[in-house]
């Protein structure tokens, strides 16, 4: 089923590329990251084009819950423990700048943008919340610990950060993308050094940005080891309360809440793609109990790229590819991370200094426990016999009975029942 955003917004249309072209900067991927990068390049007078294999915003961008916040569960204590206080401060600064940029842009665009307080709540771990507040205060964030929320269950407490935001992402992007140099229905099928071969012509570019959610080029960067994908589910309820804020649970697959107009959006039921999880059934069970008067108006699912250390990969694709860039691994924080990424990519490809480049460097240390999990999953997927194999790197595919799709547990490619590609990194349909 389509998301509430998709049902209510008409996106602008763009032509297909039908000739060979040259450009300084080629952006591949017409989701929020690609479009924002194109927007900033347009504003600084750069020579660029963006190509999208289907329609713009037809992938994960249209399935977000559209929260814009510096608060990404309890990320600050994780960064503090693993990389130190300066890294936590930089992560905060990058995301706070992204939020400010949204405030500035959205003040001129009708996109249902408003500021709301954001909360990460825990049902049982007050100590972790206290620790988060302590670190947030040290890095200059006005966070506070509170003990009551308008949620239909008991909480131990919550970390509150005031002045975060929510919007309608497709209304925003429909406006931002007007007049940009975009080609839709233009699929990159091959890379030949500085040339991207598409089904409509060759594009010679000095710099290439791959903004395809999961990077589609396997030869460099080892993203098939550095990322896995996670599915999560959303239901939108009518006749449910206005909770007046943005709420996320501290646990890996916990619940999230935000309102949009007369709807309450509840997220959760998540799991690694290709594995079992709570999905919509879990959310429906919860909502029947918590809001018995409510009625479901929409339901949809989304797919997130999860990095090894909880920090996105933004920058040079690999050490060996100085003119190739990417942005991925936004975890569950795609809106804010896309703004961080597009500002950084604009600076990197126009050779300005990018103060956060080291923190988000895709070639940073990858020796983490999650690397072992990803590697084992890939070995198991490759060795387990099955009738259908994934065109990406050959892992088994698993039938997803709730969404009627073939899903790959290795890196998260998905295909419809008839074999049409739904989610990359595979760049091809299932034969």
Give residues in contact with ligand FES (CB under 6 A): 224, 390, 392-395, 408, 410-413, 425-426
Residue 317: CB minimum distance to ligand FES, A: 17
CB of 302 to ligand FES, least distance (A): 17
For residue 341, how far is the Cα from the chain centroid? 11
Q: Which residues contact 347 (CB under 8 A, 6 or more apart)?
A: 353, 354
**Which CB atom, from 61 or from 413, has the smaller least distance to ligand FES?**
413
User: Least CB distance from residue 386 to ligand FES, whole Å?
Assistant: 11
Instruction: Choose between 61 and 303: whose C-beta lies nearer to ligand FES.
Output: 303
Which residue, 202 or 271, has its beta carbon nearer to ligand FES? 271
- Least CB distance from residue 362 to ligand FES, whole Å? 18
Contact criterion met (CB below 8 Å) for 318 and 307: no
Question: Cα–Cα distances in Å, from 421 out to 203, 253, 347, 412, 413?
Answer: 24, 26, 33, 11, 8
- Residue 122, C-beta contacts closer than 8 angstroms, at least 6 positions apart: 128, 129, 155, 156, 157, 158, 249, 250, 251
Q: Considering beta carbons, is residue 44 or 379 the nearer one to ligand FES?
A: 379
Min CB(213)–ligand FES separation in Å:
12
- Smaller CB distance to ligand FES: residue 226 or 411? 411
Apex 341 CA angle, 183 and 21, nearest 5 = 25
Q: For ligand FES, which is the closer residue by CB, 282 or 407?
A: 407
Closest CA to 233 of 280, 294, 296, 273: 280
CB of 185 to ligand FES, least distance (A): 23
Compute the distance between CA of residue 164 and CA of residue 183 in angstroms, rounded to an integer.
33
Count CB neighbours of 352 within 10 A. Answer: 10
Which has the closest alpha carbon to 56: 190, 199, 173, 207? 173
Closer CB to ligand FES, 338 or 395, in the complex: 395
Closest CA to 357 of 318, 313, 310: 313
Q: Considering the complex, state which of residue 168 and residue 273 has its C-beta at the smaller distance from ligand FES.
A: 273
**Rounded least distance, CB 316 to ligand FES, Å:** 23
Strand pairing category for 295-307 and 182-183: unpaired
Torsion sign across C-alpha atoms 126, 132, 137, 138? positive
The strand ranges marked E within 381-424 are 398-400, 405-407, 414-416, 421-423
**Could you give the CA distance from residue 397 to residue 388 in angstroms, rounded to a whole number?**
6
Cβ distance to ligand FES smaller for residue 248 or 408: 408
């Amino acid at each position: 089923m389509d998301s509430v955003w998709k049902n209510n917004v008409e996106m602008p249309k763009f032509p297909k590329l039908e000739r060979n072209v040259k450009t300084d900067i080629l952006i591949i991927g017409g989701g929020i990251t690609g479009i924002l990068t194109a927007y900033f390049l347009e504003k600084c007078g750069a020579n660029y084009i963006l190509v999208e294999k289907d329609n713009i915003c037809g992938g994960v961008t249209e399935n977000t819950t559209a929260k814009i916040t510096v608060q990404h569960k309890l990320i600050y204590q994780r960064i503090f423990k693993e990389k130190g206080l300066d890294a936590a401060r930089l992560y905060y600064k990058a995301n706070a700048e992204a939020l400010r940029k949204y405030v500035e842009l959205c003040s001129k665009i009708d996109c249902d943008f408003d500021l709301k307080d954001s909360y990460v709540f825990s049902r049982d771990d007050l100590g972790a919340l206290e620790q988060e507040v302590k670190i947030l205060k040290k890095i200059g964030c006005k966070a506070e610990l509170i003990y009551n929320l308008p949620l239909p269950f008991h909480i131990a407490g919550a970390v509150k950060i005031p002045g975060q935001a929510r919007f309608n992402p497709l209304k925003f992007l429909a406006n931002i993308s007007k007049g940009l140099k975009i080609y839709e229905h233009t699929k990159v099928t091959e890379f030949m050094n500085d040339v991207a071969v598409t089904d409509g012509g060759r594009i010679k570019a000095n710099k290439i940005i791959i903004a395809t959610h999961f990077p589609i080029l396997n030869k460099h960067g080892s993203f098939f080891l550095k990322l896995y994908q996670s599915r999560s589910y959303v239901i939108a309820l009518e006749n449910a309360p206005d909770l007046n804020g943005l709420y996320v649970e501290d646990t890996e697959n916990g619940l999230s809440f935000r309102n949009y107009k007369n709807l309450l959006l509840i997220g959760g039921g998540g799991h690694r793609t290709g594995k079992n999880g709570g999905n919509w059934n879990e959310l429906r069970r919860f909502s029947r109990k918590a809001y018995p008067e409510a009625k479901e108006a929409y339901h949809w699912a989304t797919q997130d790229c999860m990095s090894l250390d909880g920090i996105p990969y933004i920058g040079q694709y690999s050490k060996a590819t100085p003119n190739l860039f990417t942005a991925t691994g936004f975890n569950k924080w795609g809106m804010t991370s896309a703004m961080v990424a597009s500002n950084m990519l604009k600076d990197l490809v126009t050779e300005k200094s990018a103060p956060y480049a080291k923190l988000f460097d895709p070639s940073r240390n990858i020796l983490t426990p999650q690397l072992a999990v990803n590697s084992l999953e890939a070995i198991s997927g490759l060795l387990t016999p099955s009738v259908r194999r994934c065109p990406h790197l050959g892992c088994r595919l698993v039938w997803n009975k709730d969404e009627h799709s073939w899903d790959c547990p290795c890196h998260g490619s998905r295909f419809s029942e008839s074999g049409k590609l739904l989610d990359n990194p595979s760049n091809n349909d299932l034969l």
